[in-house]
Structure 1
Amino acid sequence: MKPPVFLLASERSGTNLLRRRLTEYQKEYFGPAPLHLLKHLYWAEPYYGDLACEGNFREFIRDALGLAYHHFSPWDEEISVDQVQSEYDSIFQGQRSSVGVMHVIYSIYAWRKGYSSYFCKDNNIFDFVSDIKLLIPESKFVYLYRDPRDVVVSQMKRPLQNKSVSFLADLWRNEQVRCIRHAKFLESSNDVMMISYEDLIQDELLHVKRLCDFLNVEKLETKENFSVNENIQIQEWENLNKPTIKGNSGKFLESLSRSKLKKIEGICWHQMVWLGYQPVSSRREYVSYKKLKIDVFFGIVIKILTSRLKKSGTTEEQMDRAKYTNSLQAKWR
């Protein structure tokens, strides 16, 4: 079995594009629709009680599997609690955790699809790198990053997103702080590969080949049909079945005012420079902590008000997903 691969990235950085292209161009790794399992269940794990207790462990597995089917693009293979528990005990021999459950569920799905291992693009993986490496030391990581100014532009197009530029820039900055730190640590053991979104869309075949070489798998000359019929009728996934848009970068120059650009660069300065992005501003503009928090607060208030008006445009699958994840959070929040 090939070691699993985990994606370190912020949302709107080409994460679904990369998982799809990797799956299409080789036969070892399968990148399914993400469950965001650790994001929803890692922090809740203690509240299930001791997972050595069969009842607690089965309840945890049952809730984890629910993330695959209460989904706007549900998994198309039925995986049972018994199958996960049996496979788990054969792999980990008693050491039970949310990371282990995630690994087993993804592995079973990949095997069902005829692949050796999986490519996990769940959100917030940067919060769980240490736990993943501790339980699955052979794991590999890919750090995919994108210009924060374009990330903000892309985020603001999402129907129910917080439209505060300060909030979105601060979110990107905080996530990159963790990604960069992990990337530097993993670099020494050759367990991480870095790819910029801009390079990926300019020559995706070259960078898919680089990724295949990193993972020690053979890249196919032509892509195969994706083995799952994913639901792409949502804004985030609407371009997945279309050719990659090579010119989809630098949009911030037309979409953002000078003052918003200065604000984003002021917040993200060190991380964007470290990643090789050139600021438009000649110097960093200081953004006060108090002003940032006020801007973020008003962004949250506006999001709450507008989300109530836009719920009519939400699909049944999205509503079901939100209801289910809220029920999981209610166990510990």
Structure 2
Amino acid sequence: MSSERSGSNLLRTLIANHSQVSGPRAPHLLDVFADLCMYYDTSKGEDGYLKIVQDMIKVVNHPYYGWDLEVSAADLCEKEQPSSFLDCFQAIYNECARSTNSEYIICKENRLFDYAIPLFDHFKNSSFIYLYRDPRDYTRSWLKQPMGINSLQAAANTWSREQIACIRLRDVFELPVISVSYENLIEDPAQTMKGVLGHIGIEVESECFSTQKSDDPIVQNNEYWKNLNKPIDSSNKKKYKQYFEQKEIERVETAAKEQMVYLGYDLDTSADWTLPDRGFYQRVFSVMSRAWGYFRREVFGLNEVEDTQSSAKTETEKMISSVISLRNKVEYKRKKEWCKRKGANIDRVIS
């Protein structure tokens, strides 16, 4: 459980170096399918769940994720007999474990903390890792990326909200959680990973202490994963000091102050930034910018996915746009089927 840009792919990779663990790239099945699940006709039992598994296989086998599962949805359903959404989720991960002869799976899904309680109820022997990172470096990391959160304030607010969710699961609901700071992970990988593997309950292996160069071109060329192809950089912290001005640091610390203090991070400022009054021209420019984002799609006939694809410049952006396109095709198909069953107008439903 972690916020994006907090080192979760590094931690996933280190754990997956273990001989008994499979750590596939996260296809974010929970985020993609949890809300979409209502459009499948599960009243038909096996046939409804067959379609969920079928679509999940399509997503995980996309080149960006590269699971390469060589199983049909029908065969997998016959083997696993899913009777719920989480059964389908489990069937996919079980097949991944079988395909790599692994006993365990490390699951790194976006916003996994939103699903942690039902996951714990479903997977009785599950363990959770709460990974957190200095919000100032987290924010800097987002602002350097070509896609995703591009606002300092939005990043800081997101970090604060997501730490609250993880801390609540650990301290209020008392899930079996081990807390790991990104800074400790890169400073002393061996000691940190010994604690993680002990929490999971598996034997310590030294291969989990370092990254290994990958021959996978997706990893090699991905702007988000480029550090996985290098030795762990113990100095990759407090980089925000060279990137942000003091007032920007103060904005992040103001948004994240309570969680920072709770997690043991020192503040560099008084953390009492307030929003300055915007002048007339600043307000007009802000409104016009938002309006242009809407009208350019109307003028050029683009939907949100096509708009993303049209602005994609790098191979990483193009690959992510391709994933988004696949997800939207799956969503459209299942909503269309649902509308046909319900006698609804699909254009109104999707819009």
- TM bracket (short chain): 0.7 to 0.9
Give 1:54's match in structure 2, choosing from 35, 46, 63: 46
Is structure 2 residue 107 aligned with structure 1 residue 120? yes
Q: Is the 8 A contact 2:27 2:65 kept in 1?
A: no
Q: For residues 91-146 of structure 1, what are the alpha-carbon distances to aligned partners after superposition, in whole Å with 9 as ceiling and x for unaligned?
A: xxx6412x221222112111221110200001110110121122222211000000
SS in 2 for 1:174: helix
Is structure 2 residue 66 aligned with structure 1 residue 74? yes
After TM superposition, the score normalised by the length of structure 1 is 0.84
Structure 2 portions without partners, runs of 5+: 297-306, 336-349
Shift of 1:160: 2.0
SS in 2 for 1:138: coil
Shift of 1:318: 2.8
Is structure 2 residue 254 aligned with structure 1 residue 266? yes
Shift of 1:298: 9.1
Give 1:156's match in structure 2, choosing from 134, 137, 143: 143
Is structure 2 residue 124 aligned with structure 1 residue 137? yes
Q: Is the 8 A contact 2:186 2:233 kept in 1?
A: yes
Count the aligned residue pairs: 315
Structure 2 vs 1, CA of residues 307 and 279 (structure 1 numbering), >3 Å: closer, same or farther?
A: farther
Shift of 1:28: 2.2
CA distance in 1, matches of 2:3, 2:113: 9
CA distance in 2, matches of 1:220, 1:176: 30
Q: Which moved more, 1:114-123 or 1:155-164?
A: 155-164
Q: Is the 8 A contact 1:161 1:303 kept in 2?
A: no
Q: Which moved more, 1:72-81 or 1:308-317?
A: 308-317
Is structure 2 residue 229 aligned with structure 1 residue 241? yes
Give 2:242's match in structure 1, choosing from 251, 254, 260: 254
Give 1:88's match in structure 2, choosing from 67, 80, 84: 80
Structure 2 vs 1, CA of residues 263 and 302 (structure 1 numbering), >3 Å: closer, same or farther?
A: farther
Shift of 1:65: 1.0
Structure 2 vs 1, CA of residues 102 and 171 (structure 1 numbering), >3 Å: closer, same or farther?
A: same
SS in 2 for 1:261: helix
Shift of 1:213: 1.0
After TM superposition, the score normalised by the length of structure 2 is 0.80
**Residue 320 (structure 2) aligns with:** 318
CA distance in 2, matches of 1:195, 1:298: 43
Shift of 1:87: 3.2
Shift of 1:194: 0.5
Q: Is the 8 A contact 1:113 1:227 kept in 2?
A: no
Give 1:168's match in structure 2, choosing from 155, 161, 169: 155
Shift of 1:12: 0.7
Shift of 1:297: 8.6
SS in 1 for 2:140: helix
**Residue 4 (structure 1) aligns with:** none
Q: Is the 8 A contact 1:142 1:193 kept in 2?
A: yes
- One-letter code aligned to 2:322: D
**Residue 340 (structure 2) aligns with:** none
Q: Is the 8 A contact 2:29 2:56 kept in 1?
A: yes
Structure 1 portions without partners, runs of 5+: 1-7
Structure with the higher helix share, 1 or 2: 2
Shift of 1:307: 5.4
**Highest Rg: 1 or 2?**
2
Q: Is the 8 A contact 1:162 1:299 kept in 2?
A: no
Q: Is the 8 A contact 1:202 1:246 kept in 2?
A: yes
CA distance in 1, matches of 2:327, 2:166: 25
SS in 1 for 2:218: coil
Q: Is the 8 A contact 2:253 2:271 kept in 1?
A: no
Q: For residues 58-103 of structure 1, what are the alpha-carbon distances to aligned partners after superposition, in whole Å with 9 as ceiling and x for unaligned?
A: 11111111111224141133232123212322xxxx6412x22122
Identity among equivalent positions (%) equals: 26
Q: For residues 10-57 of structure 1, what are the alpha-carbon distances to aligned partners after superposition, in whole Å with 9 as ceiling and x for unaligned?
A: 011111111111121x22221111110001001111121325523221
Q: Is the 8 A contact 2:6 2:132 kept in 1?
A: yes
**Residue 285 (structure 1) aligns with:** 273
Is structure 2 residue 192 aligned with structure 1 residue 192? no
**Residue 216 (structure 1) aligns with:** 201
**Residue 344 (structure 2) aligns with:** none
Higher relative contact order (CA 8 A, sep 6+): 1
**Residue 301 (structure 2) aligns with:** none
Q: Which moved more, 1:164-173 or 1:48-57?
A: 48-57
Shift of 1:296: 10
**Residue 345 (structure 2) aligns with:** none
Q: For residues 246-296 of structure 1, what are the alpha-carbon distances to aligned partners after superposition, in whole Å with 9 as ceiling and x for unaligned?
A: 1000011111111111111111111111111111112433459x9xxx999
CA distance in 1, matches of 2:270, 2:95: 52
